[in-house]
Amino acid sequence: MIPHPAPALSAWPVVLPPGPAGTVRGGARRARRASPAATAGCAAATVRTRLSDPDATLGRTMNVSHIGPPEPLAQRLAELRGPAPQRSLNARALAALAANPGCRRRAVLDAAGIDKGAVAQRLGRPAPFGQSPFAIARGTMFESRLKADDYAVLLEPLRRHLGLPSDGAAPLAVPDLLRRSGPAVRAERTAAALAEAAADPSAWTLLDHPLLRLTVAGSPAYLEPDAVVVHGGRCTVVEIKSFPVLDGSADPAKVGAAARQAAVYVLALQETAAALAGTTVAPGPYAVQALPGSPELSVLLVCPKDFSNRPTAVSVDIRRELATTRRQLARMTAVDELLDTLAPGTSFDLAPDQAGLPTRPVAELADAVESVPAAYGPECLSSCELGFHCRAQARCDDRVEQLGRGVRGELGSIRTVAGALAAAGPAAAAGDRESDEAAARLSYAAALRAEALGGCAG
């Protein structure tokens, strides 16, 4: 088993494979660039978005369902969303959500299942990011190949890493998980299949695309890992990714993202096992849950080997990611508490016309978005569809958050870039320097810089 980030795994060099994957990455980088119209200035430009576009945002491509919580909370969230279809939460989104638990804006919009990409489009600051269609197609093809012919190709890594007997003495059972049913039914069926498989320690069971329920900020999300193998009363998440492992090396960023995503699945499995046992998940983030059907704290990552379609697998220790995810999700304020802070009548409805084009006045929508506090950081640009909009707001307000959370923390009570510059300048009041440690440090740094530059000039 390779822990993550273990030295060996972390030391894997960043690999940019040529061919289709390289093309994809280039395309993704281009897609992440904001258009000048979208990023220039602070006024939101009006962009007509076809809401019926199935590929309008990333969420459509993910393998997760999210249905509303019971009344009346569901009613309140539906009012925020309007008639638009509810968007899915997924493991990637949850990992990103957990990475910024202080952002109430994202928490509310995600809980309500609002299409943040469409909102960003309407506000004039779309932020296209995520997997390209090519990468998604490549991943789908690779997974299909692994699972074809009764999982013939997938069996090899399962034998090598999980100990599945190769002599056929213990056949791999694959129960029907009712994939055509609704999320609630599928989640119930998954829980039943997990309990059944865990009850026979000698059996080997593969849950193919199980659906797991996870409560996030008081709202249920449904997550769908690629596969879960159950044996000996415990289970292991199998995460299939399309990025290649070349000569034993993989892109560390992608391995890390896969580990964070898998940690969300493990957390959902812990909740499922606890629910089956009629208890709750143990509070200790590093504690190994001993309940029947509980997940191992390492996951099996299966990727293409080199440039072939043959699989290679590695066991990834996700304890650190699991602890982080649990801590961050637990810190998130319950959604109903967030809703209580909204002004009556607040709505993110884009009011689409018959052609699916939004008609909601941009200024009105911007006011609604603005009414929910955000916690912008530069990381948002690669993890949230509203990243460009929130960055523009931070720039307009001259907030220090635009420089990163580290700088924000260092500057203490100084909240604006202008304030920081003033504190460092010669005109800063002596009283400010004495009363504010950050101001004093800025002033000292400015003096050192001036001295150094003066020395150079001399």
Residue 390 in the binding site for ligand SF4 (CB under 6 A): yes
Is the Cβ–Cβ distance between 90 and 251 less than 8 Å?
no
Is the Cβ–Cβ distance between 123 and 389 less than 8 Å?
yes
Of residues 80, 118, 380, 420, which one binds ligand SF4 by CB under 6 A? Answer: 380
The footprint of ligand SF4 on this chain (CB under 6 A) covers a number of residues equal to 12
Residue whose pair of structure tokens reads 């994202």 in the numeric block: 106
Shortest distance (Å) from residue 377 CB to ligand SF4: 7
DSSP 8-state class, residue 359: -
- DSSP alpha helices (H): ranges in 277-401? 319-331, 335-340, 362-370, 387-396
Closer residue to ligand SF4 in complex, CB, 129/204: 129
The amino acid present at 247, given as its one-letter code, is D
Of residues 262, 338, 384, 392, which one binds ligand SF4 by CB under 6 A? Answer: 384
Shortest distance (Å) from residue 127 CB to ligand SF4: 8
CA distance 450 to 417: 19
Closer residue to ligand SF4 in complex, CB, 77/301: 77
Residue 387 in the binding site for ligand SF4 (CB under 6 A): yes
Handedness of CA 205, 201, 320, 287 (dihedral sign): positive
- Show the tokens assigned to 248: 């034993």
Shortest distance (Å) from residue 457 CB to ligand SF4: 42
Residue 374 in the binding site for ligand SF4 (CB under 6 A): yes
CA distance 90 to 268: 12
Closer residue to ligand SF4 in complex, CB, 273/368: 368
CA distance 306 to 17: 9
Closer residue to ligand SF4 in complex, CB, 153/375: 375
Map the footprint of ligand SF4 across residues 62-101, applying CB under 6 A: 100
CA distance 104 to 24: 33
The closest of 146, 133, 379 to 253, measured between CA atoms, is 379
x/- mask, ligand SF4, residues 177-196, rule CB under 6 A, reads --------------------
Rounded to 5 degrees, what are φ and ψ at 227?
-165, 155
Residue whose pair of structure tokens reads 């109903």 in the numeric block: 336
Shortest distance (Å) from residue 407 CB to ligand SF4: 16
Of residues 4, 76, 87, 106, which one binds ligand SF4 by CB under 6 A? Answer: 106
37 CB contacts (<8 Å, ≥6 apart)?
45, 124
Residue 119 in the binding site for ligand SF4 (CB under 6 A): no
Of residues 129, 207, 376, 408, which one binds ligand SF4 by CB under 6 A? Answer: 376
Residue 231 in the binding site for ligand SF4 (CB under 6 A): no
User: 277-290: string of b/e by CB count within 10 Å (b at 16+)?
Assistant: eeeebeeebeeebe
Shortest distance (Å) from residue 131 CB to ligand SF4: 18
Is the Cβ–Cβ distance between 143 and 226 less than 8 Å?
yes
Shortest distance (Å) from residue 387 CB to ligand SF4: 4
Piece in contact with ligand SF4 (CB under 6 A), picked from 207-215, 231-239, 358-366, 378-386: 378-386
Closer residue to ligand SF4 in complex, CB, 249/416: 416
Shortest distance (Å) from residue 60 CB to ligand SF4: 18
Q: Look at residue 208 and give its three-state secondary structure.
A: strand
Residue 108 in the binding site for ligand SF4 (CB under 6 A): no
Residue whose pair of structure tokens reads 């983030």 in the numeric block: 285
Q: List contacts with ligand SF4 (CB under 6 A).
A: 100, 103, 105-106, 374-376, 380, 384, 386-387, 390
